[in-house]
Amino acid sequence: MSVITNRPKGTQDVLPSEVYKWQTVERCAAETAECFGFKEMRFPTFENTALFKRSVGDTTDVVQKEMYSVAAKSPANGKDPDDFTLRPEGTAGAARAAIENGLLKEALPQKVYYMISCFRHEKPQAGRLREFHQFGAEMYGSADASADAEVISLAKSLLDRLGLENVELFINSIGCPKCRAEYHKALKEYFSERKDELCPTCLERLERNPMRILDCKSPICQGIAKGAPVILDFLCEECSAHFEKLKTLLDDMGIKFSVDPKIVRGLDYYTKTVFEFITNDIGAQGTVCGGGRYDGLIEQLGGDPLPALGFAMGLERIIMTMENAGVEFVPARKCDLYIASMGEAAQRKAAVLTNILRAEGFYVEADTMGRGIKPQMKYANKIGATFTIVLGDNELEAGKAKLKNMETGEQVDISLGDSFIDEFSNNLIAEMFKAEEG
């Protein structure tokens, strides 16, 4: 089939036959977040470009190479058009919304979650898209390591509930600006000695933001980075105590983790704790969740100074991992009843009965194609209807019809009068019990 244009590279269509997988994850994420006291927040798909430059960081890949920035047509008043960017991630927009709406002046901590689409101009490959989706959670107001433990525990709980118990947790601390000054010096010294081998981007990073080199995807830079000094050796007393407390709390909760001193994360706003959940099941793009603390961001964006932290999970990668692990998704709802009809009077009656049952919450279908009985029944079969009713002149006259169980072929009488809803729901409940026992 040729359409006038195909979907843009790096985007995905989710068809009705697949959407139950997304719904499984989205519902589970919302339910888990709510158990932890996180409330949903919604905010715009695009923001002023300055927001991302300020928060994500000028020297990051995201800002330097991956942002989709758009300008509206020049306004009639002769002013420069606004410069907008499709959000590459959720933390900046969520923080902006929290500050702008006074959320951070309310009782602390404030805990929010979101389910959003994000946009990054990257080379599309398995698990790496240009439009992708994140479940994110952010917690504002607590500087204590117990908040870090709670946020990590939320991510872990969700992965467990989804049946992904083999996803591994890696944690690190990247310290505060105080300890990082010393560390930057050490890194600069180390990488300067091997300047000739670094990629051009890393050469630039060496001057402006040497920690970014540790996150470079080039195998040569990665090789060099292997021997680089590690931040954990440079932590100040406060950052070090914070990290120790987090490890104790995770141990107490039985959350397994490994310390990986190489995790620096791709966004500039992180301080102290950073973490990633990684799976080996889906190839190279195995990071299903990344997060950490960002104690300086709120102030940097114009709010009163306030510690904060959060994470984001890539939903495409989560679903891929679930598929590969063979874990079950909550199946799509099955059609409870198909009402087939012969002739106009019967079609009208079918529409009325369908409406009555739908109003009660049942999933009911009737013919809207003007087809004969045979194709109607074929369709009922195809959509997997649990029961069918065939309505014709005889049924209308008698005020009753046969309710057929499509799996067993069993038929029982059902009144089309006042007791229709009760009789139908009794049959459906009995069937559901049987299905559960079987």
Among 290, 262, 249, 291, smallest CA distance to 172 is for: 262
Dist CA 8 CA 354 (whole Å): 40
Among 187, 160, 199, smallest CA distance to 31 is for: 160
Is 57 near ligand ATP (CB under 6 A)?
A: no
Q: Which residue carries 């409330």 as its tokens? A: 39
- Of 132 and 424, nearer to ligand ATP (C-beta) is 132
Identify the residue among 129, 155, 174, 322 touching ligand ATP (CB under 6 A): 129
Chain CA centroid to CA 332, Å: 19
How near is the Cβ of 250 to ligand ATP at its closest, in Å? 19
**134-173: contacts with ligand ATP (CB under 6 A):** 134
DSSP 10-51: T-----TTTHHHHHHHHHHHHHHHHHTT-EE----SEEEHHH
Q: Which residue stretch of 101-109, 171-179, 314-322, 366-374 sits at the interface with ligand ATP (rule: CB under 6 A)?
A: 314-322
- Of 127 and 141, nearer to ligand ATP (C-beta) is 127
Is 120 near ligand ATP (CB under 6 A)?
A: yes
Dist CA 248 CA 76 (whole Å): 60
- Of 294 and 424, nearer to ligand ATP (C-beta) is 294
Among 355, 358, 375, smallest CA distance to 367 is for: 375
Dist CA 181 CA 173 (whole Å): 14
Q: Which residue stretch of 124-132, 141-149, 252-260, 350-358 sits at the interface with ligand ATP (rule: CB under 6 A)?
A: 124-132
State whether residue 140 is helix, strand or coil. strand
Dist CA 207 CA 191 (whole Å): 10
Query: And the tokens for 319?
Result: 């679903």
Is 289 near ligand ATP (CB under 6 A)?
A: yes
Please count the helices (runs of H) and the strands (runs of E) in the chain: 15, 16
Q: Where are the beta strands (DSSP E) in 346-392?
A: 364-366, 387-391
- Omega into 229 within 30° of 0, i.e. cis? no
Identify the residue among 239, 312, 320, 340 touching ligand ATP (CB under 6 A): 312
Is 342 near ligand ATP (CB under 6 A)?
A: no
Dist CA 339 CA 350 (whole Å): 6
Is 132 near ligand ATP (CB under 6 A)?
A: yes
- Of 110 and 134, nearer to ligand ATP (C-beta) is 134
Specify whether the CB–CB gap between 270 and 151 falls below 8 A: no
- Of 92 and 414, nearer to ligand ATP (C-beta) is 92
How near is the Cβ of 288 to ligand ATP at its closest, in Å? 5
Q: How big is the site for ligand ATP, counted in residues (CB under 6 A)?
A: 19
Dist CA 259 CA 269 (whole Å): 20
Q: Which residue stretch of 96-104, 123-131, 143-151, 229-237 sits at the interface with ligand ATP (rule: CB under 6 A)?
A: 123-131
How near is the Cβ of 135 to ligand ATP at its closest, in Å? 9
* Interaction mask 59-98, ligand ATP, x per CB under 6 A: ------------------------------x---------
Q: Which residue stretch of 119-127, 147-155, 352-360, 405-413 sits at the interface with ligand ATP (rule: CB under 6 A)?
A: 119-127
Dist CA 80 CA 77 (whole Å): 9
Q: Which residue stretch of 171-179, 183-191, 283-291, 338-346 sits at the interface with ligand ATP (rule: CB under 6 A)?
A: 283-291
- Of 117 and 157, nearer to ligand ATP (C-beta) is 117
Identify the residue among 48, 59, 218, 285 touching ligand ATP (CB under 6 A): 285
Residue with smallest beta-carbon separation from ligand ATP: 314
**395-434: contacts with ligand ATP (CB under 6 A):** none
Q: How far is CA 154 from CA 91, 113, 136, 149, 303, in A?
A: 17, 11, 11, 9, 26
How near is the Cβ of 59 to ligand ATP at its closest, in Å? 14
**168-207: contacts with ligand ATP (CB under 6 A):** none
Identify the residue among 138, 150, 316, 395 touching ligand ATP (CB under 6 A): 316
Q: List contacts with ligand ATP (CB under 6 A).
A: 89, 120, 122, 127-129, 132, 134, 266-267, 285, 287-290, 312, 314, 316-317
